Chains A and B, each alone.
Chain A
Amino acid sequence: MAAHGIATQHKQGLSNGMLGFILFLASEVMFFGGLFAAYFIARADATEWPPENMLTAEQIARGVKLEVEFALPFIATILLVLSSVTIQFGVLAIRRGDRTALIRWLMVTIVLGLVFLTAQMYDYSQLHFRAGDTVYGTTFYTLTGFHGAHVAGGVIFMGVMLARSMAGQFSAASHEAVEACSFYWHFVDVVWIALFTVLYIVK
């Protein structure tokens, strides 16, 4: 019988690394699932939403208003969805072996991610409620905050990909980390679309 190595890597289909990464993303889905559950239960419990009736006299005196701006988050949403497209262009480029284009698209995507984060910070600074102002404030800042942290994580991830590609790594045959990075970024994007829908659109 021919000598087999001990199996360390499957040759076809998903690589071990990608499979592991997808499992990691599944656990992330469950994490956000828990947060979304909390949000839906809070809304289901509320007699009105936003729950202005839960505000104390002290909070009203402080000028707390439970309302969000729509325009800026909407623009940020469009940019984030666009950034999913740009990173995919990067992936398609490196699949052809075009590292220069990958670098370009990574830069564009990183800028879009940073613009999103800046817009979120600015949006936070304009709001008239804090995390402690009823469960509305708590869920809003927790959900968007954890998502924002994931955007920041994604920007760092892309930064590493950018540094590695500028150092001459990745080729048409070997660019798994870039694929994983794009998976992560799409995941962050999809979570945001769900968040934007429930936080800003569904009344």
Chain B
Amino acid sequence: MTSIVIPRPEGYARPRSALLDWLTTVDHKKLGILYLYSTMFFFGVGGILALLVRTQLAVADNSFVGNDAYNQIFTMHASAMLFLFIIPVWAGFGNYVVPLQIGAADMAFPRINALSFWLVPPAGILMFSGFLVDGGAAQAGWTAYSPLARGLGPGMDLWIIAVILLGVSSTIGAANFMVTMFRLRAPGMTMFRMPIFCWTMLVTSVLQLLATPVLASALAMLYIDRNFGGAFFDPNGGGNAILWQNIFWFYSHPAVYIMILPGMGIISEVLPVFSRKPLFGYKAFVFATMGIGGLGFSVWAHHMFTTGAVLKPWFGFMTFMIGVPTGVKMFNWLGTMWRGSISFEAPMLFALGFLSMFLIGGINGTFSAAVPVDFALHDTYFVVAHIHYVLFGGSVFAVFAGLYYWFPKIWGRRLNEKLGQAQFWLMFIGFNLAFFPMHLLGLDGMPRRIATYSNESGWEALNMASTVGAFLIATSMIPFIVAVIAAFMRPKDQPNDPWNANTLEWWTTSPPPVHNFDDLPEVHSERPLFDARQSGAGH
């Protein structure tokens, strides 16, 4: 097996001061790390807000934070988690991993890549500075429905501008990822030999490119309504309040796939490696991902059945349809593990956590897509349970699967395995304790977004269980933080490929040099490292 040597000019990487280097870097790996640090920071902030929410709801008739503060807290919890954590954390993983997986030296547009990242922290600061202005931070929920959002204080405007900035960040980032994957693949790597994580990033990028600008237009309209007397969402001036919901969900339903597809990609990298088998049905998985992306644009109004203003049978049917490619993926993953030689290291545990919890999230989601059921469950805690089963049980578990899996590559050290196991079990139990009771609360009619409830409602025990679960999730972060600190105190000792993995990022050193690769193996399949091991080549 021959490998391809990459010529390199002398003196291409002049040393600079570390701080200046981090502030001005256009290296996709450094930007990826910056993305991961800042998104994990906002994960922490969003998590603290979640604990405030759960503390307020722990007992009936509670006045721990007060109604106004409660509205701000749950709004900012969701906004931070969705716009400042989940969506950009995939850009972080994508930044670090995609160029390495396709054997490229960097992203197609490194400076635009830096711009994408540097829009995120200011947007976060802008959004949270709402707490300092009159009337407090945004409090219309992350969905910012009109007429509610038209009438709130200036914190809402800060929120709008922040979300527009984040939208610009992900739109230009999406174009960057697409060109990178279309154009910079290593010799021999056809589209259908691209690692699955890249495929999911590609489909995610298409969704971001086409859906995010529509959100920007809706936010521009809301801003005009609020500040220039516009009447887009004001029926008194001939506008239409439902218009906001249509345009918002036209973005935000594809956006839920933006939030989950890269997570599916991560576990599709992890499951084969820890089952010692190739991914079962690679092409089926790719087409299912495309199917989810395409169908994702045709289901937005299932969030709006109770408005009565949408074509309910169509959107209900399309929502059932989108369960089909998702089901295909379930079989891809199960088939991958079937008769595999499975080992249960931390990345695998989190991937299995994703698999089982996302399955529940998929089932309770499809369940609520039935129009009559949705009428009963709309805006109850059942929906809160659903979104957390897909976004926490799905995406967050995948984030940790990715962190444990790629930590040796990114930082050259391995996270402690025992601490990883402890984190997983604490998080898994805490997660189910926090969110499973919400199904029952929802079925019993507890509305979402209420600041408190009466002790005659009979909801106290389940809410208390949920609060205990939330604090258990918070506790599960302690072993993770300890593991990260402990890892950073050790020297970089990881070999190129500590997991016996399949994809090109494991060909180069851990961490990789600035230019990523000194040489590349020839790519003949979607598992170039497996091929190299089989033919006895390698380092």
Chain A residues engaging chain B, CB cutoff 8 angstroms: 1, 3-10, 16-17, 19-20, 23-24, 26-28, 30-35, 37-38, 41-42, 45-46, 51, 54, 130-139, 142, 146
Contact = CB atoms under 8 A, between A and B. Distances in A.
A5 B7 contact: yes
A95 B212 CA distance: 35
A27 B210 contact: yes
Contacts of A32: 217
A19 B183 contact: yes
Interface string B220-250: 1100110011111010111110010011001
Nearest to B205: A23
Given A37-B247, A134-B238, A138-B231, 5 more contacts: A1-B522, A23-B175, A26-B210, A42-B240, A132-B229
22 contacts: A6-B186, A6-B520, A7-B185, A10-B183, A16-B108, A26-B210, A27-B174, A27-B175, A27-B212, A30-B211, A30-B213, A30-B214, A31-B213, A33-B213, A34-B214, A38-B243, A38-B247, A45-B238, A131-B224, A135-B237, A142-B224, A142-B232
A24 B175 CA distance: 7
A4 B187 contact: yes
Nearest to A39: B232
Contact of B229 (A3, A33, A131): A131
A5 to B, nearest CB: 6
A41 B212 contact: no
- What are the nearest 3 A-B pairs in CB distance? A132-B229, A34-B217, A31-B213
Contact of B238 (A9, A20, A46): A46
Contacts of A27: 171, 174-175, 209-210, 212-213
B19 interface: no
Interface in B152-186: 171-172, 174-176, 178-179, 182-186
Interface residues of B, number: 57
A67 to B, nearest CB: 15
A33 B238 contact: no
Nearest to B171: A27
B230 A142 contact: yes
Contacts of B516: 6
Contacts of A19: 178-179, 182-183
B213 A42 contact: no
Interface string B507-539: 000000000110010100000000000000000
Prevailing SS type, chain A contact patch: helix
B500 to A, nearest CB: 25
A36 B183 CA distance: 33
A32 B185 CA distance: 33
B376 interface: no
B178 A23 contact: yes
A33 B215 CA distance: 11
Interface of B: 2, 4-7, 103-105, 108-109, 112, 171-172, 174-176, 178-179, 182-187, 209-218, 220-221, 224-225, 228-232, 234, 236-240, 243, 246-247, 250, 516-517, 520, 522
B237 A146 contact: no
A47 B489 CA distance: 71
Contacts of A45: 238, 240
Given A1-B2, A134-B231, A138-B231, A7 B187 contact: yes
A62 to B, nearest CB: 13
Contacts of B178: 19-20, 23
Output the residue of B175, B221, B225, B236 with the most chain A CB within 10 A: B175
A183 to B, nearest CB: 14
A32 B217 CA distance: 7
B109 A138 contact: no
A197 B139 CA distance: 40
B326 to A, nearest CB: 25
B38 to A, nearest CB: 24
Output the residue of B112, B216, B217 with the most chain A CB within 10 A: B217
Given A27-B213, A34-B213, A41-B243, A3 B5 contact: yes
Contacts of B247: 34, 37-38
A7 B184 contact: yes
B245 to A, nearest CB: 12
B243 A7 contact: no
A28 B178 CA distance: 16
A188 to B, nearest CB: 16
Contacts of B210: 26-27, 30
Contacts of A33: 213-214, 217
B7 to A, nearest CB: 6
Nearest to B109: A20
A23 B240 CA distance: 31
Given A19-B179, A31-B216, A8 B184 contact: yes
